[in-house]
Amino acid sequence: MKKKFFALAILVAMVFSLTVCGSTSAEDSDKTLDEVKAEIRAQYGENKQITDGNYDKTLAVKCVNGTFVGKKNDGVIAYKGIPFVGRQPVGELRWKAPVDVVPDDGVYKAYYNGKSPWQNETITEGGSLYVQGEDCLYLNVWKSDEASSEKKPVMVWIHGEGFIYGGTSDPLYECSNFVRENPDVIAVSIEYRVGVFGFLHLSHIPDGKDYPDAQNLGLMDQIMGLKWVHENIASFGGDPDNVTIFGESASGASVTTLPLIEGSHKYFKRVISQSGSPCFTMTTEEAIARTNELMEILGCKTVADLQKLDVEKFVAASAVLALRVWPERDGKYLPLDPYEAYANGAAKDIDFLQGCNKDELNYFVYGFGLEPYNKWAADRKAGKLAQLTDEEKSLVESFCSDIKGEDYEYTSRLFDQIIFIAPLFRLSENQTKAGGKSYTYYFTPESSLPIMRCGHAVELAVVLNHPENTIYTGRAFDETFSKIVRKMWVQFAKTGNPSLSAEISPDGKEHIWPLYDLKDKRIMIFDEFNIHPEKESERKILDWERCYFLTKYFCI
């Protein structure tokens, strides 16, 4: 699945890089994948210390751990590859909690992306598109060069891709376009450890007692990045007391689990979760079983054995855990039952905007291919049914029997309910019951790609303002529709309410987004040419009787 998507991503990245370089000739479009990869990797470099005093002072921002000098392009200043830790998690710090920054009076370039975290991502036989490494804990900041006396709201993007892939350097996550259109906010993107370096339970191994945090390091990295933002963003003109964290898929899960971490609320005020929830977590027992499975494959008995492995071999072997590596509900860093924690008011002071897409699982059908998807889905369905009581199994089979269409439809619609729809509504219900706010949405525009329809990730290019990036959509969505979506996201970040008055709406029309309520369960429907609120019952999005209960079993 990932190879197919990443091969497409190379072409998208090529378009992006050529746009940045100002070149769109036919000759450029004929470049080989290796040539494209070379161009993208050329955007990397070492952000060296500036010792001769020769730099543009208007582009320099003093932070706790140094003064960072950015680059300006078409009204937006980008600061890339800023470290948010005092020491990178390499060597003896592998599988250890992130180390806080220390004061530094040095001046450093912030021109280049930091490394992406190690991941089993191979794009073609030519290898990874992005530079990877364990020394990956960096962030990026984008701000308008417009002078402003007021502190600006801050929107912190956390990337997704299953807790095993991805990086801030993905061209889709470049926020210059977003800030150029919305100069009244500051955008940040944060890197974190993924896969076996970010979410691997080790404390049960004979010499694993020194690694008590290994199962949730990726989340700890995110918190450390948010701490850096809290302490430094005012120097960029941002308001540290008005921070919104947002993300999609695994990062939708991240931003809905971060509020449950003790002490996190001082770092952000609002959450935007796209197609993600605490559903993407695992128990300690599940985490231990997955570690043991990997250890057996590698022939390792101890953490010391793992430390001796070639990194690429280790990461390649971890592919067996794909889509089964999650943060751990350990009862210490994360609660054993996140939904219950929400119902008990753990995040009632945090404003939420959350939703999902109409055909989420079609992304996986399209990515895997029909035959591999059907095999994967049958295995996952069998595993899920094995957890259920006989009565619950009957409800699930009844749901599946009512699904019409292609042979993949009954499992894809079932998994839509289990992984995305039911968790979304349970989170909205529990947040509302506790006295908190939830603005809930349902995204419906369809891709032009075969099978994809309104699958997982189709809204990313809309939200982050990359209409040229059609890897998930096959086409650009309506421009006015896209601007309204972004304006609502920004308005929510600014005020806590995504509704738009006619004066600020891109189409000159008022768009009132009602809060989710327990009686009518009102949500915003994002039809491409008709954004409007509805009661959930009008579309029967969730099968409350036959699927809602499945949230207690979390993900597949």
Return the active site residues: 249, 360
CB 249 within 8 A of CB 361: no
The upper half-sphere exposure of residue 356, i.e. CA atoms within 13 Å in the direction of its Cβ, equals: 29
Question: Residue holding tokens 């990359």?
Answer: 466
Query: What's the rounded Cα separation, in Å, for the pair 451 and 365?
Result: 7
CB 511 within 8 A of CB 500: yes
Query: What's the rounded Cα separation, in Å, for the pair 231 and 64?
Result: 8
The H or E element spanning position 375 is helix 370-385
Question: Count of CB atoms within 10 A of residue 29's CB?
Answer: 12
- Of 138, 161, 4, the C-alpha closest to 65 is 138
Question: Count of CB atoms within 10 A of residue 543's CB?
Answer: 19
Q: Any alpha helices (H) in 215-361, and if so which ranges?
A: 217-232, 250-257, 284-298, 303-308, 311-317, 338-343
Q: Any alpha helices (H) in 446-478, and if so which ranges?
A: 460-463
Cα–Cα separations (whole angstroms), residue 67 to 47, 53, 139, 276, 297: 12, 12, 14, 35, 46
Rg of the chain, C-alpha, whole Å: 23
CB 221 within 8 A of CB 98: yes
Query: What's the rounded Cα separation, in Å, for the pair 532 and 514?
Result: 10
The H or E element spanning position 248 is strand 238-248
Question: Count of CB atoms within 10 A of residue 323's CB?
Answer: 16
Query: What's the rounded Cα separation, in Å, for the pair 71 and 56?
Result: 9
Q: What are phi and psi of 306, to 5 degrees?
A: -65, -40
CB 459 within 8 A of CB 485: yes
CB 248 within 8 A of CB 166: no
Alpha carbon 395 to its chain's center: 32
Query: What's the rounded Cα separation, in Å, for the pair 500 and 439?
Result: 13
In the chain, how many H helices and how many E strands? 19, 16
What the block records as the tokens of 296 is: 């057996």
Query: What's the rounded Cα separation, in Å, for the pair 95 and 216?
Result: 10
Angle at 490 between CA 432 and CA 515, to 5 degrees: 20
Q: Three-state DSSP class for 11?
A: helix
Cα–Cα separations (whole angstroms), residue 490 to 276, 461, 485: 19, 15, 9
CB 158 within 8 A of CB 190: yes
Write the CB contacts of 234 (distance below 8 Å, at least 6 apart in sequence). Answer: 151, 240
